[in-house]
Amino acid sequence: MSDEPYYVRAKGKITGPFDFATLQKLVRRGSVSRLDELSRNRLRWEPANGNVSLFPPAQESGAASPAQRGAAPVAAPPAVQRFYYQQNGETVGPVPLALLRTLAQSGQIGQDDSVWEDGADSSTSAAAHPALAAFFIPATPVHSSRWRLISIVSAAALVLLAIGAGIVEWQRHSAASSFAAALESRPLVRSVNDEPGLAQAVGFVVCGLHCISPDGKNIEEPSVSGSCFAISPDGYLLTNKHVVQKVDEWMHAKALRDQILKNQLWVVDPRVWVFFAGKKYTANIIFISAHYDMAILKVDRQGHPQPSFALSAAPRTARSEDVFAIGFPGVAEVPLSMDERLTDLKTHTDLTADVTEKFKSRDFAFTLTKGVVSRTVQEAGGTTWVQHEAAIRPGNSGGPLVTSEGLVIGINSVGQRESDTTQTNMALEISQLRKEIDEHVPEVQWR
């Protein structure tokens, strides 16, 4: 079986890519039907019904049955009619006929929604389906309270029947729908104009050491700074590996830290601090990629879920597409006046109890630069990069490259200065990282 991904087109809406195993699961759940279309390249589409691995053809009437071939007859389970329906491009099912009728009667299925029985080759509108048509015929006004009571009792009986017949299928569908709704309703950055959302979704990363001196003083010293961004509402962040690699080495150098404590009486504790809108958090390093310049952090921001970014599930290759680089470039630390320069000299030589004191207030405000995609390139080792014209500088490393809708297409990683006036800006293309991200971060929203 080819490893090429599949794309699904249903009523003009394209989803994917899916590997074949995932596609089979979607078929079994009814999320992909034989009425939909499949493609490998989104250019040539074929009916899903034509893929016999997904939708095996029905046994021909002339074919030998198991009994005719000498196989022991097996009692067939009682046939249960199961139906699917489609609303706003979403396929729901399977549901039993009784529940389908209840949904139609209560108005939750519209007369133009498509309905089909499991295994059917075609669909029909709900109003044209023999089992549902009666619910879409305008009722003649009835003024008798007796008939109103009969109607109410009949409707209640239908509801009870539906609950008894379809409780398992309904619970599964409800759980899936609730999960999808929770993902969709979570706080996402949906525009580069969402200043409050960006302030809580793009972080200033500071790596350094928390020390205790021989006389008991607490000291925090920064060594490297960069950027990161939230990819889940519960605190998972992406950044570059090169931003946190040195402090990670310190974390694994326990023997060296023990020697410093023994010989110099200093307690040395490596730390990664992340600032959102100037508020300081201590982060844990969850994962460092062995293949890409990517690392995953996690912070505990107690309270309500925080804004996060959706990630592009496929490479964005359109040249001249508007993109925006967001982060905390070190250029913000440059003094703006002689007075500030003198203050900086004192600050950088003093030992401080809080690393926050090593920075100016403006260093905690993110920058946003606009450009266009120049091209997508692949290096010899296979890593894919997005070359773009949104200016990045030291400190932007680990920050997101996003579209105007806030969709992340890359992690800003490299700014190669070619002259005093030109620079090549490169971002690590995000969709190639999906396998590693999904292994370590739950509930990432890919689009």
Average pLDDT over residues 306-333: 88
Residues 328 and 226: beta-carbon distance below 8 Å? yes
Which residue did the predictor score with more confidence, 67 or 222? Answer: 222
177 pLDDT more than 70 = no
Question: In which band, very low, low, confident or very high, does the pLDDT at 417 lie, cut at 50, 70 and 90?
Answer: low
Task: Output the CA angle 209-442-299, nearest 5 degrees.
Answer: 25
pLDDT at residue 77, rounded to an integer: 43
pLDDT at residue 65, rounded to an integer: 46
pLDDT at residue 80, rounded to an integer: 55
Question: In which band, very low, low, confident or very high, does the pLDDT at 144 lie, cut at 50, 70 and 90?
Answer: very low
Residue 282 φ/ψ, nearest 5 degrees: -95, 130
Task: Output the CA angle 183-186-192, nearest 5 degrees.
Answer: 115
What sign has the CA pseudo-torsion 24, 26, 31, 36? negative
The alpha carbon of residue 351 and the mean position of all alpha carbons in its chain are separated, in whole angstroms, by 41
Residues 87 and 109: beta-carbon distance below 8 Å? yes
Residue range 275-298, pLDDT digits in tens: 999 999 999 999 999 999 999 999
137 pLDDT more than 70 = no
Lowest mean pLDDT among 10-24, 171-185, 302-316, 358-372: 171-185
Question: In which band, very low, low, confident or very high, does the pLDDT at 238 lie, cut at 50, 70 and 90?
Answer: very high
C-alpha to C-alpha distance for 370 and 243, rounded to whole angstroms: 23
Please provide the distance, in angstroms rounded to a whole number, between the alpha carbons at the two ends of the chain. 26
Q: Is 84 helix (H, G, I), strand (E, B) or coil?
A: strand
C-alpha to C-alpha distance for 251 and 387, rounded to whole angstroms: 34
Task: Please state, as a whole number, how many other Cβ atoms lie within 10 Å of the Cβ of residue 103.
Answer: 20
Lowest mean pLDDT among 21-25, 309-313, 335-339: 335-339
Average model confidence (pLDDT) for the chain?
Answer: 80
228 pLDDT more than 70 = yes
Nearest Cα to 32, choosing from 50, 52, 54? 54
Average pLDDT over residues 382-387: 94
Q: How many CA atoms lie within 13 A of 415 on its CB side?
A: 20
C-alpha to C-alpha distance for 27 and 24, rounded to whole angstroms: 5
Tell me which residue has tokens 């990517």. 294
Residues 434 and 289: beta-carbon distance below 8 Å? no
- Helix (H), strand (E) at residue 347: helix 338-349
Most confident of 9-18, 67-76, 341-350, 390-399: 390-399
Nearest-10 crossing angle of helices 145-185, 97-105: 100
- For residue 153, give both structure tokens: 């009792």
Residue range 7-20, pLDDT digits in tens: 888 866 788 888 88
Mind giving me the DSSP string for 248-312? HHHHT-HHHHHHHHHHH--EEEEEEEEEETTEEEEEEEEEE-SSSS-EEEE----SSPPPB--B-
Which residue did the predictor score with more confidence, 191 or 344? Answer: 191
All domains in the chain, ordered by first residue: 6-50 (no CATH), 82-185 (no CATH), 195-440 (2.40.10.120)
pLDDT at residue 94, rounded to an integer: 77
